[in-house]
A and B are shown apart, each in its own frame.
Chain A
Amino acid sequence: MKAMACRDAKAHLLDYAEGELDDALRAALREHVAGCPDCRRELQEIEGLRSSLGRERVPEPGPAFWEEFPDRVWQAYRAELPAAGRPATGPRAGGGLGMNPVAARWASLAPRLQFNLALLAVFALGLGATGYLTYGQLHRNAREEVARNAALIMEAALSMRRYTIGQIRPLLGDSGKFHPQTVPAYATTEIMNQLQKRYADYSYKDAALNPTNPRNRAVGWEAEIVGSFRGNPGQGEIRGVRDTAAGPSFYVARPTRIRDKDCLSCHTTPEQAPPAMVRIYGTAGGYGWKYNEIVGAQIVSVSMAQAVRHADRTFFILMASLAAVFAMLFVILNLVLSRTIARPIGRQSG
């Protein structure tokens, strides 16, 4: 057998002292130590060190303590169960640690996974709640904005009607000729049509069930609104949203009631109406109106498509930003967790 070198022997002295070497190595080292005073001294130091360490005694509690300790721990464990979210009854047959299956499954997950799942749940909950509340609020805001615009257009239309009745009709009404421009519905519709050329989302109609001008005839949903006003004369305004091919459309309607007896001169019978008007519009409609009767409705419609698009875009940007913030938080928290908890434990352990 080849003699062991001093350097190799020193590397194995501790293992030798602890009985960790196999027979061949042990025999070689024993032989080397027998002939090497330096290694022999080092081995004696190691054995002496082990002996010193072994002399340190822990002050032990007495046998009575150990006898009752398992019961004490059991009672403390049982008392701890409610605080840990588990039944105070402790483990039960088939129950797995006294936990319900979900809690048992949760407890079996790695702490890091538990942390991340909890974090994701909080983020998902936060994102969901924020999304739900924000989406509703943004769409309410969009509708309110559209409603404000519609009210403005309606007030503008009413002003045009009053202007036509108060200032245009007196100027042209006594000329002996019939000018459609003196009719408030005509004037208002014409002006609004001009506006619509630049702002296609806004429209105005002086809808009537029995109009003189056929373009003012109320179509299905408009006729329903007029019918609603006629059935409930005290109703001052109707608002709503209807679906159209171009998307949702907000409307506001006010009743057209005959309050000016001068109106009846054109709308009672064809014979009483100005011949020039009869020549333009014929005798098919626009007659038989009565004083104080609701004959139609002024209806302003505003497309909600653009406002909804704005709300949706804002919603998307907000949610994407929040998701990005959550994602960054997720990564940062995991990094912080690794640096402040996981690695220190590893360092302590390794």
Chain B
Amino acid sequence: MSIVTARTGPGDAELVRAFAGGSERAFKELVRHYQAPLYRFIWRQVRNQSEVADLCQEVFIQVFLKAGSFRGESSFRTWLYQIAINRCRNHFRSRGRERLEDVEIEALPLVDSPANDAAEASQEARRVRAAVQALPPKQRITLELRFYQGCTFAEIAEIMICPVGTAKANYHHAIASLRKRGLEP
């Protein structure tokens, strides 16, 4: 999992203000803090390593070009993920497919795994990937945000513009669907 860790020093809102005031250091600090979780989030969306870094960079650029509209009412993180979700969606549209489910499961790359249990890990990875990708988009993204990004339901609700109860329900439905597919050890 790639939960964003708390950090000492200036908060996101303060860094965004500093960036707006001309601070390159604040810009890079924000990128440094969110680059890895954002990378993982986008990778789980597109599952194509050759495209992830570019998409990640594009999301950051879009975020900073729109930084003038950041008023600090929502967190920088929720705003970042909102833009990332929209960018991934546009990415699929530009590739002529609507979403990740349209990609052949077998065509997806394998994840890194230790050499001694590579075969087992590959099979397990495919099983997990296939099950997650079979989820409806809102459930899948909720699962990604909750399980892999460590977002609270309040944050998920903000990112996905829905009530907190809906975010919780989506997560529970996602877990229930995966259990039905027999995704357990």
**A75-129, CB < 8 A from B:** 76-77, 80-81, 84, 90-99, 104-105, 107-110
B160 touches A56 (CB 8 A): no
Tell which of A57-65, A256-264, A328-336 binds the partner: A57-65
CA A53 – CA B170 in complex, angstroms?
17
A56 touches B111 (CB 8 A): yes
A66-B35 in contact given A97-B20, A349-B138 (Cβ < 8 Å)? yes
B109 touches A61 (CB 8 A): no
A52-B183 in contact given A70-B32, A345-B161 (Cβ < 8 Å)? yes
A77 touches B65 (CB 8 A): yes
A-chain residues with CB within 8 Å of residue B86 when the two chains form the complex? 345
B-chain residues with CB within 8 Å of residue A50 when the two chains form the complex? 147
B134 contacts partner chain A, Cβ-Cβ < 8 Å? no
B39 contacts partner chain A, Cβ-Cβ < 8 Å? yes
CA A107 – CA B68 in complex, angstroms?
6
A199 contacts partner chain B, Cβ-Cβ < 8 Å? no
B103 contacts partner chain A, Cβ-Cβ < 8 Å? no
CB closest chain-B residue, reference A17: B175
A57 touches B68 (CB 8 A): no
Listed from nearest, the 6 A-B pairs whose CB atoms lie closest are A349-B160, A350-B162, A107-B68, A48-B184, A70-B28, A91-B22
User: Number of B residues contacting the other chain (C-beta, 8 Å)?
Assistant: 66
* B112 touches which of A46, A59, A345, A347 (Cβ 8 Å): A59
CA A46 – CA B177 in complex, angstroms?
11
Scoring B residues 105 to 118 as 1 if CB is less than 8 Å from chain A, else 0, what string do you get?
00001011100000
A49 touches B57 (CB 8 A): no
CA A350 – CA B53 in complex, angstroms?
27
Which A residues are closer than 8 A to B by beta carbons? Answer: 14, 44-46, 48-61, 65-66, 69-74, 76-77, 80-81, 84, 90-99, 104-105, 107-110, 345-350
Scoring B residues 91 to 113 as 1 if CB is less than 8 Å from chain A, else 0, what string do you get?
00000000000000000010111
Closest beta carbon of chain B to A164's beta carbon, Å: 83
A45-B67 in contact given A54-B1, A58-B44, A349-B161 (Cβ < 8 Å)? no
CB closest chain-A residue, reference B24: A74
* A53 touches which of B57, B128, B160 (Cβ 8 Å): B128
CB closest chain-B residue, reference A103: B68
B141 contacts partner chain A, Cβ-Cβ < 8 Å? yes
Which B residues are closer than 8 A to A by beta carbons? Answer: 1-2, 19-24, 27-29, 31-32, 35-36, 39-40, 43-44, 49, 53, 57, 60-61, 64-69, 71, 82, 85-86, 89, 109, 111-113, 121, 124-125, 127-129, 132, 137-138, 141, 143, 147-148, 159-162, 166, 170-172, 175, 178-179, 183-185
* B65 touches which of A72, A84, A345 (Cβ 8 Å): A84
Closest beta carbon of chain B to A74's beta carbon, Å: 6
Among A92, A99, A350, the most chain B Cβ lie within 10 Å of the Cβ of A350
Closest beta carbon of chain A to B157's beta carbon, Å: 9
B64 touches A77 (CB 8 A): yes
Chain A to chain B contacts (Cβ below 8 Å), 7 pairs: A49-B179, A54-B1, A59-B43, A61-B39, A77-B60, A348-B137, A349-B82
B184 touches A45 (CB 8 A): yes
B111 touches A59 (CB 8 A): yes
